[in-house]
Structure 1
Amino acid sequence: MKFNNFRIKRKSWFRALFNLNSSILPVVWEKAVFFGVLSFFVCFANHFGYSIAKPALTGLIPTIVLSLLLAFRTNSANDRFWEGRKLWGMIVNTLRNLAWQIWVNVREITPDDKQRKIQNLKLLTVFAITTKNHLRGKIGEEEIKPFLSDYHYHHLKTSQHLPLQVAAYLGEYLYKESQQKNLNQYQLSSMQELINILIDMVGGCERILKTPIPYSYSIHLRQLLFLYCVLLPFQCVDQLKWGTIPFVIILAYVLYGIEAIALEIENPFGTDKNDLPLDQICQTVNQNIQDFIMNQNR
């Protein structure tokens, strides 16, 4: 059994080397080729005796300075990515807790009470979907329509902030149940606190979305990257000769790849391969809610 698992891991590792779907290669290969062509002309001139090698250029942009800039850029983007993941983890957990509290605490006196409860449990799925679409700058009307009553659906179409409006629907439902004595004040306060947490989590995601890495910093880093890769062939050609070409291509790929990865994950709510799997997370929330309703109806 262990041997089979080892073989599977080896195959997965080898297959990952040639996986271009999630690779950064399609984004940076043109830059690497550009600097490879530049290196060819430098090597060509050096081969025919032109004094083109300039090892002194090594100190113009110290490698440690560029490394620190890239590390800061990558760490900042990575922090944003993981903060986004933690916020969505909190959203999922809070939705589950709220679903449990609604089902357990809200009393059912008439059949209509149960139907209202189920309809508002579906709003928890709608909250997850509208939050996802809100962060992506979309409405997603058709995606939320199956979970909504006609009144809620038409009213949401005119709302400017759908997650906030869905939270208002949930708060309104709980308040009405409290007025009808189907919910006591302690239970109401507990569930309202969960709704407040959901709103705070949406605000945290919006903070990430609307506070990008300063553009001047990105421009400065790109300028230094370009200058470093342009000067690199002149530094290496005297020692590496024609080997300068693959060396510069590989190094340009590595450096621009790091910068491209940071650029891709600094907004973790998009639809790229390396962004957070928000569609799957919303499907998980919906499945949890549906399983919960079905189990409680048995």
Structure 2
Amino acid sequence: MVSYNTKDWFTFIFRFHKADTFRTLLPLMLGIGVYSGIVGYLEVVYWKLSDNSYVKNITIMHGMFGFVISLLLVFRTNTAYDRWWEGRKMWGALVNNSRNFAIKLSVILTDEKDIAYFRKLIPSYASILSKHLKDEETAKQLFDDVDLEIDHHKHKPNQVAKMLFQKINDLYNSKKISGDQLIILNDEVKSFTDICGACERIKNTPIPYSYSAFIKKFIFFYVMTLPFGYALSLGFYVVPVIVFIFYVLASLELIAEEIEDPFGTDENDLPTHKMAENIKKHVEELL
């Protein structure tokens, strides 16, 4: 994740981070600027349209659809942020459950070999889950047009969870823990799998294609028609105005695209590897 000071306004305004949408959109912004300049030249210089031309009334359409596109982008951004925040809550729960599991085991267990086993395996679940969620095949499991030959016996987080429960069951069979303790520890292992399933749901269920494609098309055609109406009012100043409008609208869509998959490798995605390292440090302190 990008580390920053939320109160440092001038840094936000004048610094362009590599994750900033300006860098990504710059080629398109230049193209939109050239296009707007051509439209402005044709209307103002070549055709010499008057202020009474009906072309100027196209701005009425933009005023009507501007409200609609604003609602769509707000909903799009909020939906993407909800996915990002849910992913963060799931990993927060994984951190807390790992700590609780380690605390209970540190009190219940007395054999150093058993303690060392869990000291190694509990952090391994978080580390393997982080790698599992960054795997592209995980994101494609529900796609109709992708036929993946997935061996579900090699689902690594499930294998680690199975090893944890197997060890707990062996402790019960060897009378090292009671039946009540088995139930308590079983709930902790079960929570790991619940968290994994919730993260996979976010990972392999993207925003519906029709909705995402419609917003992109809407932004494109909306911006491409802006110069026709505003060139008569603004002249060649229409170029920076249209470029700025495109930058704002397209940036909101890009930001939503980036954060809707919180387990990727983008700058603003969740630092799951760092969280896994913190879990390892905390478990080793407790066990």
TM-score (norm 1): 0.83
1:198 Cα deviation after fit: 1.1
What is aligned with 1:196?
A: 190
- Distance in structure 2 (CA, Å) of the matches to 1:124 and 1:274: 27
Alignment partner, residue 59 of structure 2? 58
Identity, % of aligned positions: 33
**1:181 paired residue number:** 175
Contact 1:125–1:286 at 8 Å: present in 2 too? yes
- In structure 2, distance between residues paired with 1:160 and 1:202: 15
**2:144 corresponds to which residue?**
none
Q: Which runs of 5+ in 2 are unaligned?
A: 138-151
From the superposition, tell whether residues 138 and 263 of structure 1 become closer, same or farther in structure 2 (CA, over 3 Å): closer
Q: What's the CA shift string for 1:239-288, capped at 9, x where partnerless?
A: 11121111111110000000000011111100110111112111111111
Partner of residue 42 from structure 1, selected from 35, 39, 43: 39
Find the partner of 1:208 among 187, 202, 220: 202
Report the RMSD for the aligned CA atoms in angstroms: 2.1
1:142 is matched with which residue?
none
**Cα deviation, residue 15, structure 1:** 2.4
Determine helix, strand or coil for the equivalent of 1:48: helix
Tell me the CA shift for residue 182 of structure 1. 1.2
Task: State how 1:84-103 maps to structure 2 within 5 Å.
Answer: 84-103=87-106
- Structure 2 residue identity aligned to 1:124: I
Q: 2:253 aligns with which of 254, 259, 272?
A: 259
Counterpart residue number, 1:121: 119
d(CA) in 2 for partners of 1:100, 1:39: 64
Q: CA deviation at 1:57?
A: 2.3
Contact map agreement 1:87 1:205 (CA 8 A) in 2: yes
Q: Of residues 79, 83, 88 in structure 1, which corresponds to 2:86?
A: 83
Report the Cα distance in structure 2 between the residues aligned to 1:254 and 1:285, rounded to whole angstroms. Answer: 39
Partner-residue secondary structure (3-state), 1:268: coil
Q: Does the aligned pair in 2 maintain the 1:264–1:275 contact within 8 Å?
A: yes
Is structure 2 residue 22 aligned with structure 1 residue 25? yes
Is the 1:66–1:224 Cα contact (8 Å) retained in structure 2? yes
* Aligned equivalents of 1:25, 1:269: Cα separation in 2: 23
Q: Deviations over 1:74-123 (max 9, x none)?
A: 111111111111111111100110011111112x2xxxx31232122221
9 and 131 in structure 1: CA distance in 2 versus 1, 3 angstrom threshold: closer
Query: Does structure 1 conserve the Cα–Cα contact (< 8 Å) formed by 2:101 and 2:188?
Result: yes
Map of 1:250 onto structure 2? 244
User: Are the equivalent residues in 2 in contact too, given 1:136–1:269 (CA < 8 A)?
Assistant: yes
Report the Cα distance in structure 1 between the residues aligned to 2:84 and 2:201, rounded to whole angstroms. Answer: 12
Name the CA distance, whole Å, in 1 between partners of 2:73 and 2:58: 20
Is the deviation greater in 250-259 or in 284-293? 284-293
Structure 1 contact 123–166 (Cα < 8 Å) conserved? yes
Give the gaps of 5 or more residues in structure 1: 1-7, 140-157, 294-298
Equivalenced residue count is 263
Instruction: Select the residue among 234, 252, 266 that pairs with 1:240.
Output: 234
| Closer, same or farther: CA 161–32 of 1 in aligned 2, 3 Å | same
Other-structure match for 1:153: none
Structure 1 residues 181 and 136 mapped into 2: Cα distance closer, same or farther (>3 Å)?
same
Q: Distance in 1 between matches of 2:176 and 2:136?
A: 37
**CA drift at 1:51:** 5.0
Kindly indicate whether the alpha-carbon contact (under 8 Å) linking 2:59 and 2:230 is maintained by their aligned counterparts in 1. no
> Whole-Å Cα distance in 1 between the matches of residues 79 and 203 of structure 2?
13
1:31/1:252 contact within 8 Å kept: no
